[in-house]
A = this chain, B = another copy of it.
Amino acid sequence: MTADLSASDDTPLRADARRNRDQIIGAAKKMFAERGPDVPMEEIARRAEVGVGTLYRRFPDRDALIRAVVRDNMADALAYARAAAVEEPTGWSALVRLLSHSTELGLSVRLSMLSPTVRKTLHGDPVLRELRSALLTAFETIVGTAQAEGSLRTDVSASDVAIVYALLLRQPQTMADSTAQLATGRALALVLEGLRARPDAPPDALPGRRLTAADLLLD
């Protein structure tokens, strides 16, 4: 899924190794999303159908794995956001598409927001910094477009949207999957309703000030 935005390694990696690497990242992504950043390495390996040794050869420690997962995830989210911006006819529909689909974006945001430890790990990674800034730019484009066309209320910033989004994405895990999905869908629809521009409403109804990129993640 990920383009090679990471610093190109010198050795091209053997075919099976590459496959295993991808499986590991995929498994780790799911496990992190479901059970937080502390899942045992061994379980990740098992889910990836790989030995622990393999996992450790590819990623020297947990931090490296987390970084890789978040990078991969961010890259996916970025691709998705850009696609939405380009392919959708209106800013509003791009916004809807962005918010509706991407569990992708959710994971990395959630991961990096929830645990102080993880934040420390991610902190200062240059690739991530670049990805994040690109993602925020994409977000801003969409939000800007939607606001310019008069469909999105103007007293929110891209960061506002991102945060609400992140808050909503945490899926309740105790319900049946179908129920959880239903609930998330409805919650999302409600938020979108709240985000819609109202010609009659006062222009600055929200409390406080617009959130900024700096509020989003403090490095």
Contact = CB atoms under 8 A, between A and B. Distances in A.
Interface stretch (A22-30, A68-76, A166-174): A166-174
B189 A191 contact: no
Contact of A174 (B190, B194, B195, B217): B217
Contacts of A160: 183, 186, 190
Interface in A190-212: 190-195, 205-209, 211
Given A114-B172, A174-B119, A211-B182, A205 B187 contact: no
Given A167-B168, A190-B195, A179 B215 contact: yes
Interface in A95-122: 112-116, 119
A218 interface: yes
A94 to B, nearest CB: 18
B218 A174 contact: yes
A11 B184 CA distance: 47
17 contacts: A113-B175, A156-B186, A160-B183, A167-B183, A175-B215, A176-B218, A179-B215, A182-B208, A182-B209, A185-B207, A185-B208, A186-B206, A186-B211, A189-B194, A189-B206, A190-B191, A190-B195
